[in-house]
Amino acid sequence: MTLRPSGQLSWLLERLTPSKWDVIGCLSSETRWNSAWQCVERRAERQHYLQIEDAVGVFGGPTAETHAANLDRQLALAVEVPGFRPDRVLRAQLLARSPDVIRTVESVVNKLGPNVILDTSCMPKRYLFPLMRKILDAAPDNLVVAYTSAQSHGDVLGYSSDDWAPLPLFLAEIDTDPLIIASVGYEPSGLAQILGEMPKTEGDLRFVLPVGTSASSSRRSWEFLHHVWPDLPLKWQAPPLRVEVHDLSGTFDTMRKVIDRTNRNVVFAPFGPKPTSVAMCLLASMLPRATVLYAQPSYYAQDYSTGVHDLSPGVPACVGHCVRLNGVDAYSLCQERGA
């Protein structure tokens, strides 16, 4: 049994051996973008922040100028954060071609030291998945994945979702009998697109439903399920796998057990919260033939989330999970199979 330490990020870091960490995050208009940074600041060796420029709308919607102004505003606010180095920010396009996305994440990973904190809170999945995979490939001594809960989310999170496609570095041929694992989030339209076109004759589907969330989040999750449920074949309507929203370890094990029971090629559809997506990313990186499909919004809502959920006054609910600890993977398929 491998130890998978996790907990409030500041609390966790105090108990880990390294004193200096490289921090990777993403600038955003969301309040929580720098919560992890606040927890790490004095232990930070280097900072690597991405700033992702959304795409313009298909017909109307925000223009490139609007996006540029938003990015400048984000940067201006970031300058005021103590210790933050705006010159270390790397700009990239949200809908960049896969090779360009991969080059961007490689340029970040190539500069990393042995101890890494990856703040997933505001990072678009199109960048988070390849970045995480490349970090895992680089095998740092220690890797902590952090996530900060927001106080609330906007009614609409993203706009003008593109046709579904594999996330960069997570493309494998989809068999005629895949096992689809879809996490439940707030906006079902992208998943409905994907499920509508998956092979149904022999394929199988399991939903991963995050629980332990607020009443409004829970309601939105169930609405999500109710939206996609009616058009699914009966055999795809198995009860969802319930996972605690912040429990990366439990989510990983729950999905792994389902995968262990099959030899099917696995298709992940990460539409839920980031900890679930991270668990999917870990599994997809370990499996020999896994695909991660996503319908990428062209641009995100300015009020994607507001505020930071505080554990106690002034202490943001920023949770860290050790993914690699002292050179050992805390998560692996073989080890778990043997456990």
For residue 335 the two structure tokens come to 């080890």
In angstroms, what is the minimal distance from the CB of 315 to other proteins? Answer: 37
Q: At what angle do helices 274-286 and 125-138 cross, to 10 degrees?
A: 50
CB of 202 or CB of 260, closer to other proteins: 202
Beta bridge partners of 183: 208, 270
Phi, psi of 15 (to 5 degrees): -100, -5
Residues 6+ apart with CB under 8 A from 43: 13, 18, 19, 20, 21
Q: Which of 30, 5, 9, 31 is nearest to 21 (CA)?
A: 9
Cα separations (Å) of 79 from 51, 207, 320? 14, 41, 25
**Contact call for residues 101 and 168 (beta carbons, < 8 A):** yes
Q: Which of 21, 16, 49 is nearest to 113 (CA)?
A: 21
In angstroms, what is the minimal distance from the CB of 167 to other proteins? Answer: 10
In angstroms, what is the minimal distance from the CB of 272 to other proteins? Answer: 18
Cα 7 to Cα 24: distance, rounded to the nearest angstrom:
19
CB of 72 or CB of 223, closer to other proteins: 223
CB of 6 or CB of 298, closer to other proteins: 298
CB of 95 or CB of 317, closer to other proteins: 95
In angstroms, what is the minimal distance from the CB of 252 to other proteins? Answer: 23
In angstroms, what is the minimal distance from the CB of 286 to other proteins? Answer: 15
Cα 305 to Cα 29: distance, rounded to the nearest angstrom:
9
Cα Rg, the chain, nearest whole Å: 19
Beta bridge partners of 300: 158
For residue 312 the two structure tokens come to 């106690």
In angstroms, what is the minimal distance from the CB of 109 to other proteins? Answer: 15
Residues that bind other proteins (CB under 8 A): 55, 57-61, 95, 97-99, 102, 156, 159-166, 168-169, 171-174, 188-189, 192-193, 196-197, 200-202, 227, 230-231, 233-234, 295-296, 298
CA 214 to chain centre: 20
CB of 81 or CB of 165, closer to other proteins: 165
In angstroms, what is the minimal distance from the CB of 58 to other proteins? Answer: 5
In angstroms, what is the minimal distance from the CB of 224 to other proteins? Answer: 12
CB of 72 or CB of 202, closer to other proteins: 202
CB of 63 or CB of 216, closer to other proteins: 63
In angstroms, what is the minimal distance from the CB of 182 to other proteins? Answer: 14
CB of 169 or CB of 269, closer to other proteins: 169
Phi/psi zone of residue 167: left (φ > 0), alpha (ψ -120 to 50 degrees), beta? beta
CB of 167 or CB of 248, closer to other proteins: 167
Cα 83 to Cα 236: distance, rounded to the nearest angstrom:
50
**What is the pairing mode between strands 318-325 and 6-8?**
antiparallel
